[in-house]
């Protein structure tokens, strides 16, 4: 009888394939072609530096236990209740004894643990809840929707920064349920909300609208059912249509259409909010979850890139940060984790097939990203027209806007860790803020393509209350850095403060001591 824990060297892709194939009981060892999710997982794990693995058997995976109780327990044929989990490490074991090896890895630090793959005992859909370390930003992949997850293995605790991944199990859910599960599990601890198992998601989605059998649920979900499942989990789903009605992804992008789609998606993804993309293709519909983006250092004006929207701020041309952020990265339950979603059109699923996006927003977010960006730019233009302010500010000829949704704690943490002068830090740390804030940052367009490596600081920003009507001017703060203030050192900040309770507005210069 095999031991419950087994230690294996897997320093190359063929060994990774053979190990996974042996756990699956498959004779296919040269390729995991029947399971593209596992093939792409192998490539990702190898690139992450995997050299060793521990196979853990008889794992009580809570998601599969829920699936089993809902569906498989009704079978006359006995489907096993437990799963097998494979843990991956980037350092060679210090001992051939599996427990001594685990102890050595735990003592070596967090960097050696690369996450795990859970394999359920279902031949057609073996990949259950899996957490593999996200790609490094050094790879040019900026995975924004992730969390740090604790993993306990034989009395030792490890941590992995990952975006959860799962293959759809048609017994209890199709691609939409898998995408919803991945999105909810990513936000579980960040937002303190429910993280439904796939059976729960199907139940919530079909509570009021049924378009086919609920079990087995092989027909997938409609947009209305997806939003109902998300709402039941405690979020406020915003359905954003990306392409014209009737588009199926074969059409070429119309002028400005691709840039608009990128500008729509970027604020949510950059803010760490998973976005479910509903894809429409001649071969059928599909759902994936967008989790990150790439980065191009090239100025949009110099290459074959989506043209910036022609907007102005007091005479300065505005570009959007999304112009640099492409391609987008997704978890696709059909093909694998951390995959590029190409621009398209193409033979497979591409961004051109995305006909709507559904970001998972907290229930107190009543203003979407596009509304927030439009409102803040309008507000800034109004402010720049005030004679007193206009005389103080010297804007560059081109500016980049970056729209983000931030938690209140994040705003304060960023202020504390920044190089802002102490008076401004104190202002941000003590000002009353709602639980979430829309932020519009202003950056000089010059050298913005290098911002991921040189850490550019904004020369201005606007904070907006996301639970109030933006057309009413319910901003919280406008800050302008001394870099664009005439006759003031860069350590000086102009702050226009709005009291959230009585609406009173004050303007003050904050100088470093």
User: What CATH number is associated with residue 179?
Assistant: 3.90.70
Could you tell me which of 224, 230, 169 has the C-alpha nearest to residue 195? 230
284 or 230, greater pLDDT? 230
Q: Is residue 313 part of a domain?
A: no
CA–CA dist 77, 75 (Å, integer): 5
Q: Does residue 408 register a pLDDT over 80?
A: yes
Whether 308 maps to a domain, the answer reads no
- Judged against a pLDDT cut of 60, whether residue 159 lies above it is answered with yes
Report which of residues 56 and 234 the model is more confident about: 56
pLDDT of 474: 80
Q: Peptide bond before 327: cis, by omega within 30 degrees of 0? A: yes
Residue 143 lies in a domain: yes
Residue 113, pLDDT > 80, answer yes
Domain span holding position 436: 369-510
In 3D space, the residue among 441, 444, 449, 403 whose CA is nearest the CA of residue 302 turns out to be 449
Range in 121-130, 372-381, 462-471 with the lowest mean pLDDT? 462-471
**In the predicted model, is pLDDT for residue 217 greater than 50?**
no
Same domain assignment for residues 392 and 275: no
d(CA 463, CA 376) in angstroms, rounded, equals 8
pLDDT over threshold 80, residue 171: no
pLDDT at 210 over 60: no
In a shared domain, residues 153 and 60: yes
Q: Tell me: do 382 and 468 sit in the same domain.
A: yes
Angle between helices 62-70 and 198-205 (to 10 degrees): 50
Question: What local confidence, expressed as pLDDT, does residue 305 receive?
Answer: 56
Residue 318 C-alpha from the chain's centroid: 25
Domain count, the chain: 3
Residue 170, CA distances (Å) to 29, 38, 119, 176 in order:
26, 18, 15, 11
Residue 199 lies in a domain: yes
The CA distance from 215 to 202, in Å, is: 9
pLDDT band at 464 (very low <50, low <70, confident <90, very high): very high
According to the model, what pLDDT value does residue 215 have?
A: 47
Residues 146/163, Cβ–Cβ less than 8 Å: yes
Within this chain, do residues 191 and 250 fall inside the same structural domain, yes or no? yes
What average pLDDT does this structure show over 216-239?
A: 79
Q: What is the pLDDT of residue 83?
A: 94
H helix or E strand, kind and range, residue 367: none
Strand order in the sheet with 83-89: 5-9, 52-59, 83-89, 113-119, 131-132
| Same-domain check for residues 490 and 387 | yes
- Domain-embedded: residue 314: no
Which DSSP state fits 214? Answer: S
Closest CA to 289 of 272, 306, 303: 272
**Phi-psi category of 291—alpha, beta or left, where left has phi over 0 and alpha has psi -120 to 50?**
alpha
Give the residue from 133, 162, 191 where a domain finishes. 162
CA dist 361 and 192 (Å) reads 13
Extended strands (E) in 471-513: 475-481, 493-498, 505-510
For residues 213 and 147, membership in a common domain is answered with no
Same domain, 91 and 199: no
For 31-40, 243-252, 372-381, 489-498, which range has the lowest pLDDT when averaged over its residues? 243-252
Is residue 449 domain-resident? yes
The C-alpha atoms of residue 249 and residue 38 are separated, in whole angstroms, by 27
**pLDDT surpasses 60 at 260:** yes
Q: Is the pLDDT of residue 358 over 50?
A: yes
Q: How far from 333 is each of 18, 84, 164, 192, 389, CA to CA, in Å?
A: 22, 19, 11, 25, 52
Q: What is the mean pLDDT of residues 150-154?
A: 96
Contact 286, 368 (CB under 8 A): no
Domain boundary among 362, 382, 413: 362
Percent of the chain at pLDDT exceeding 70: 90
pLDDT confidence of 1, banded at 50, 70, 90? Answer: very low
In the structure, what pLDDT confidence band is assigned to residue 65 with cuts at 50, 70 and 90? confident
- Same domain? 110 vs 154: yes
**Do 475 and 429 reside in the same domain of the chain?**
yes
Contacts 24+ apart (CB under 8 A), 479-488: 479/424, 480/392, 480/393, 481/457, 483/459, 484/393, 484/394, 484/395, 484/396, 484/459, 484/460, 485/392, 485/393, 485/394, 486/391, 486/392, 486/393, 486/394, 488/392
Same domain, 126 and 240: no
Instruction: Give yes or no: residues 276 and 175 share one domain.
Output: yes
pLDDT-derived band at 469 (thresholds 50, 70, 90) equals confident
State yes or no: pLDDT of 497 exceeds 90: yes
**Over residues 247-262, mean pLDDT:** 83
**Which neighbouring-strand residues pair with 219?**
none
Question: Residue 137 pLDDT > 90, yes or no?
Answer: no
pLDDT digits (tens, 9 = 90+) for 261-287: 999 999 999 999 999 999 987 777 899
* Spatial distance between the Cα atoms of 327 and 296, rounded to a whole number of angstroms: 9
- Domain assignment present for 302: no
Instruction: Answer yes or no: do 236 and 358 share one domain.
Output: yes
Q: What pTM did the predictor assign?
A: 0.92
320, 346, 362 — which closes off a domain? 362
Helix axes 223-232, 175-191, angle to 10 degrees: 30
Q: Phi/psi of residue 130, each to 5°?
A: -130, 140
* DSSP symbol at 123: T
Q: Is residue 382 part of a domain?
A: yes
Contact 398, 480 (CB under 8 A): no
């Amino acid at each position: 009888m095999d031991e419950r824990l087994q230690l294996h060297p897997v320093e190359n892709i063929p060994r990774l394939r053979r190990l996974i194939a042996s756990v699956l009981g498959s004779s296919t060892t040269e390729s995991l072609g029947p399971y593209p999710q596992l093939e792409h997982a192998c490539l990702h794990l190898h690139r992450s530096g995997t050299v060793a693995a521990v196979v853990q058997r008889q794992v009580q995976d809570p998601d599969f236990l829920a699936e089993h109780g809902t569906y498989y327990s009704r079978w006359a044929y006995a489907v096993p209740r437990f799963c097998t989990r494979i843990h991956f490490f980037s350092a060679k074991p210090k001992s051939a004894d599996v427990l001594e090896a685990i102890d050595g890895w735990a003592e070596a630090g967090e960097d050696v643990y690369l996450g795990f793959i859970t394999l359920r005992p279902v031949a057609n859909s073996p990949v259950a809840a899996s957490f593999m370390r996200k790609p490094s930003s050094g790879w040019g992949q900026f995975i924004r929707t992730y969390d740090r997850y604790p993993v306990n293995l034989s009395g030792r605790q490890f941590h992995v920064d990952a975006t959860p991944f799962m293959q759809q199990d048609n017994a209890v859910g199709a691609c939409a349920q898998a995408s919803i599960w991945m999105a909810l599990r990513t936000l579980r601890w960040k937002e303190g909300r429910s993280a439904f198992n796939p059976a729960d998601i199907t139940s919530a989605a079909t509570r009021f609208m049924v378009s086919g059998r609920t079990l087995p649920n092989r027909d997938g979900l409609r947009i209305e059912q997806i939003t109902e499942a998300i709402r039941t989990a405690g979020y406020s789903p915003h359905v954003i249509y990306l392409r014209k009605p009737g588009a199926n992804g074969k059409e070429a992008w119309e002028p400005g259409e691709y840039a608009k789609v990128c500008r729509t998606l970027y604020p949510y993804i950059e803010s760490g909010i998973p976005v479910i993309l509903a894809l429409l293709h001649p071969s059928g519909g599909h759902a994936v979850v967008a989790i990150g983006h790439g980065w191009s250092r090239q100025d949009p004006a110099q290459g074959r890139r989506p043209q910036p929207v022609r907007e102005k701020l007091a005479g300065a041309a505005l570009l959007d940060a999304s112009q640099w952020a492409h391609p987008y990265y997704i978890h696709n339950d059909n093909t694998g984790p951390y995959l590029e979603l190409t621009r398209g059109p193409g033979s497979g699923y591409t961004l051109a097939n995305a006909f709507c996006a559904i970001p998972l927003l907290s229930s107190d977010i009543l203003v979407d990203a596009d509304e927030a960006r439009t409102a803040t730019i309008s507000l800034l233009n109004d402010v720049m027209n005030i004679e007193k302010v206009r005389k103080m500010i010297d804007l560059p000829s081109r500016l980049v806007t970056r729209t983000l949704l931030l938690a209140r704690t994040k705003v304060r943490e960023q202020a504390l860790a920044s190089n802002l002068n102490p008076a401004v830090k104190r202002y941000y740390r003590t000002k009353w803020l709602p639980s979430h804030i829309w932020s519009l940052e202003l950056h000089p367009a010059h050298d913005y393509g290098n911002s991921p490596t040189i850490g550019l600081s904004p020369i201005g920003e606007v904070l907006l209350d996301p639970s109030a009507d933006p057309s009413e001017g319910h901003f919280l703060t406008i800050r302008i850095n001394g870099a664009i203030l005439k006759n003031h050192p860069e350590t000086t900040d102009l702050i226009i403060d709005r009291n959230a309770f009585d609406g009173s507005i004050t303007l003050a210069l904050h100088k470093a001591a």
